Amino acid sequence: MSEAGAGEAPAAFPSGSLGQTALVLVAVLVLTHLPALLTPGTIQDEAVYVVAARELLHGGKLYIDVIDRKPPLLFYVYAAVLRLFGPANWVGLHLAGVAWVLATMGVLVALGRRLGSVATGVASALLYAVFQPFYEVNNLAFNGEVLMNLPVVIGFWLAFRRSRSQWRLELLAAGAMPALGFLLKQPAGIAGLPLGIYVLLPAYRRSRGLGWRHSLLHALWLCVGFAAAFGAAGLLLDREGILPQAFYWSVLDHDVPYGPLSAVFWHRASFATLIFLVFCAPLVLGTWQSLRSPALWIGRQAERTALLVLLGVSAIGVSASGRFFVYYYIQLLPPLCLIAAPYFAELWDARHRSASARFMLGWVALSAAVFLVTDLVEMPPRIGTSQAAQYVRRSAHPDDRAFVWGQYPRFYLEAGLRPATRYITFFPLTGYIFGSPYNRDPSHEDTTNRILPGAWQHLMDDFAAHPPRYILDTEQAYYPPKYPIAHFPYLRDLLARDYRLALMLPGGALYERRASAQ
């Protein structure tokens, strides 16, 4: 295999022009992400991000007028998308998500080219397009994992690229990329570690003819870029007047109730990891085969080590919260795709088109087909089709507000109304633990000690400023409910005094404010 940038040009992609190759990449991406483009509403956490971004478009302040625990850049990206396509354009939202994945694939092509050839880059991009939607339609959401992968791979592309200058000032930008990734989803920040290790490796210095002083300088550039990105973000957030709130909700409000010493941690880890290994088996096997073939990495030992470290720290990122949601594993895809790509590029070469090669390539194609069918079957329902949403849309005024008691912010989109409070989900009011196996079991895990101090007073202030005309109690969908309104005196008394039951539905109870309370 040729050593791109080390005196020999990388091999061309074996079939067709680069333009045709680009069309193939786009076609595969559109096909594998077709369920997202056809979904008539939001997917998974997109509802939270859309509700929050809409409040920003109405002039609200993040973490003050609308509360969530994700970092700020994610919401600003969503606000930009909604401003561009419209606040209820779900096709536009998912087109933006597909475009983001396409941009990530483009960087993977460039990265793979540094690892051997254009074919290697194309293989890494195709693997990413195929396996990102693995297992469930939730993986197609325009979520933090998808968002953060783009700056991470840009950082590695900048670090891996050949440079005629021994100063390598581009490493300032490379170091900034994991910090930008953190501002989209927190685990991305850990990608800065393998970048630092990479420039300190003896193989890195040998391949570029550098001395150890250059390695130290390059590591310094990475650290300066990382710190500068956070510093600039801090200044901008301070200018907005939300720096303390952003730090609290993005960093401090993230304990790990079930750490590595608990049985819950290992039960969740084993179950979710098994799902990942089963559904992404061709990718994992291809990674293993690539690592077993030193000839595929001649002249690229430093890059191989850096990608292995990235895979290791990404696994830490997946497990850091102890929740092990399946879509967290999207963070593993860039290093897996890049490590496996040389092996799959070699399989594609006609000289290696053995029965085992045809089997592996067919397995990847079959995986893509299975994911497509599964995601098409699991597409979320159209926004606004529920009985509660239809009732509200028939009777509400555009200036009315709503409040959801539960973890169902999608109702604000279904009803077409803004939230009456900053708490678009009720975890600050109840101490609800994300990912807990006891979230629906009232006999386990009293969470009252986790209620945010002052949250109920903030709720009262918000209701006084813009009282909700409708209150949807989603806890009544569960029997027995873990967080019944009857256990929270302010809300219980408010409902009894000012509201009437409008609808009792399988998904909960809808209350409407009495005319006398207007």
pLDDT average, residue stretch 95-114 = 96
- pLDDT, tens digit (0-9, with 9 covering 90-100), for 276-325: 999 999 999 999 999 999 999 999 999 999 999 999 999 999 999 999 99
Pairing of strands 470-473, 508-513: antiparallel
Determine what percent of the chain is predicted with pLDDT higher than 70: 96
Lowest-confidence segment of 172-176, 181-185, 478-482 by average pLDDT: 478-482
How high is the pLDDT of residue 3? 38
Burial of 274 (0-12, 13-18, 19+ CB in 10 A): exposed
Give which of 304, 330, 305 is closest to 317, Cα–Cα.
Answer: 330
How high is the pLDDT of residue 195? 97
Integer Cα distance of 52 and 64 in angstroms? 11
Q: Which residues contact 347 (CB under 8 A, 6 or more apart)?
A: 353, 357, 360, 361
Q: With 90 as the cut, is the pLDDT of residue 165 above it?
A: no
Q: With 60 as the cut, is the pLDDT of residue 9 above it?
A: no
Q: Which residues contact 481 (CB under 8 A, 6 or more apart)?
A: 442, 475
Integer Cα distance of 313 and 306 in angstroms? 11
More confident residue, 156 or 44: 156
Sign (positive/negative) of CA torsion 251, 253, 254, 255? Answer: positive
Q: By the 8 A CB rule, do 364 and 343 touch?
A: no
State the DSSP string of 358-414. HHHHHHHHHHHHHHHHHHHHTPPPPTT-SHHHHHHHHH--TT-EEEEESS-THHHHH
Give which of 163, 171, 305, 187 is closest to 226, Cα–Cα.
Answer: 171
Integer Cα distance of 118 and 129 in angstroms? 17
How high is the pLDDT of residue 353? 67
In this prediction, residue 491 has a pLDDT band, given cuts at 50, 70 and 90, of very high
- pLDDT, tens digit (0-9, with 9 covering 90-100), for 328-357: 999 999 999 999 999 999 888 765 567 878
How high is the pLDDT of residue 384? 74
3-state SS class at 508 = strand
C-alpha separations of 211 from 205, 206, 214, 218, 298 in Å: 6, 8, 5, 11, 21
Alpha helices in 115-183 (DSSP H): 118-131, 144-160, 170-182
pLDDT average, residue stretch 420-440 = 93
Q: Which residues of 352-387 are buried (b: 16+ CB within 10 A; e: fewer)?
A: eeeeebeebeeebeebbeebbebbeeebbeebbebe
Place of tokens 């079957």: 377
> Which value, in Å, is the radius of gyration of the alpha carbons in the chain?
25
How high is the pLDDT of residue 60? 96
- pLDDT, tens digit (0-9, with 9 covering 90-100), for 228-261: 999 999 999 999 999 999 999 999 998 888 889 8
How high is the pLDDT of residue 295? 92
How high is the pLDDT of residue 189? 96
Integer Cα distance of 4 and 315 in angstroms? 29
Q: With 60 as the cut, is the pLDDT of residue 22 above it?
A: yes
More confident residue, 423 or 19: 423
Lowest-confidence segment of 24-38, 49-63, 348-362, 409-423 by average pLDDT: 348-362
Alpha helices in 280-354 (DSSP H): 281-291, 301-319, 333-348
Q: By the 8 A CB rule, do 135 and 371 touch?
A: yes
Q: Is the peptide bond before 480 cis (omega within 30 degrees of 0)?
A: yes
Q: What is the mean pLDDT of the chain?
A: 92
pLDDT average, residue stretch 101-106 = 97
Q: By the 8 A CB rule, do 282 and 360 touch?
A: yes
Pairing of strands 508-513, 401-405: unpaired
